Structure 1
Amino acid sequence: MRLRYLLLTLGIVVLGLLSRKTSICSIDFVRMYVGDVLWAMMVYFGCRLLFVSLKKSASFGVALSFSYLIEVSQLYHAPWIDSIRATTLGGLVLGFGFLWSDIACYTVGVTLGFWVDSLPGWGRK
């Protein structure tokens, strides 16, 4: 089961990175929102991978809370955290500026992850 969550997490990372490449995707909606939805799905499946004893509902709550906290942290700007955000990995993980649309995307992404995980015969309890 862990292998399934690992492969899902890695696959979603690849899709998320591809969704941000302007040369691959020229549709503004995809570039603006799909990456954030995929990021939150990755957080959900990463949570399922790392915290094997958690139930799906608890993983949902942890993933959504983590996603919201990352977004709210974007309201805080200090030189030390902005220097982390200036790196490629830091920018991908922490983001740059708070947007309400990101909160909506994270809600959709974690919900989609939970839904996929709840398909019959798909995930664990």
Structure 2
Amino acid sequence: MRRPRYQYAGLMLLVIAAGLGSRTGWARTHLPEFISQYAGDTLWALTLFLALGWAFPAARGTTLALTALGLSFAVEFSQLYQAPWIVQIRETLPGRLLLGSGFLWTDLICYSVGIALGWWGERWWSWHRRHWSGKPPSATVPKAP
């Protein structure tokens, strides 16, 4: 499946907005604690999956998911490293948003869920387009050589 970049860019903006919104005081007071606590990390990983899909529109979904999982886990485990120079970077807003600030095992679960949502969403959308496009089934399934 070749991914439409403009749609992925739009999805990334929506997911980023939702992720930032999940970290606000409003979210902490109006959303269930479970969601306000874990949504940001889950949406961060979904954004990473979408960014990879945008950057590599012809890549297989499984390849993107495994790459996103590896990168997100690497970022999380890098938080165990506390050299002064990287702590300074993490104290900035961009550093905190991109690199996080402290290692949590629960973040690994959130990342896995966010990336799985992206992978599953792609598969669902691909299936949906094939089966509900209005074309007869023979037009959507390639013929054997």
| TM-score in same-fold range (> 0.5) | yes
| Match 1:21 to one of 19, 24, 48 | 24
Q: Deviations over 1:25-50 (max 9, x none)?
A: 42322221011111111010111001
| Partner-residue secondary structure (3-state), 1:118 | helix
Separation of aligned partners in 2, 1:83 and 1:31: 26
In percent, how many aligned pairs have the same letter?
Answer: 39
With normalisation by structure 2, the TM-score equals 0.80
1:53 deviation in Å? 2.8
In the alignment, is the contact (CA less than 8 A) between 1:39 and 1:106 conserved in 2? yes
With normalisation by structure 1, the TM-score equals 0.92
**Counterpart residue type for residue 3 of structure 1:** Y
**Counterpart residue type for residue 81 of structure 1:** I
RMSD: 1.3
In the alignment, is the contact (CA less than 8 A) between 1:22 and 1:31 conserved in 2? no
Superposed counterparts of 1:25-64, under 5 Å: 25-26=28-29, 27-64=32-69
Tell which structure's C-alpha radius of gyration is larger. Answer: 2
In the alignment, is the contact (CA less than 8 A) between 2:80 and 2:103 conserved in 1? yes
- Give unpaired runs (5+ residues) of structure 1: none
Provide the aligned length of Structure 1 versus Structure 2.
Answer: 122
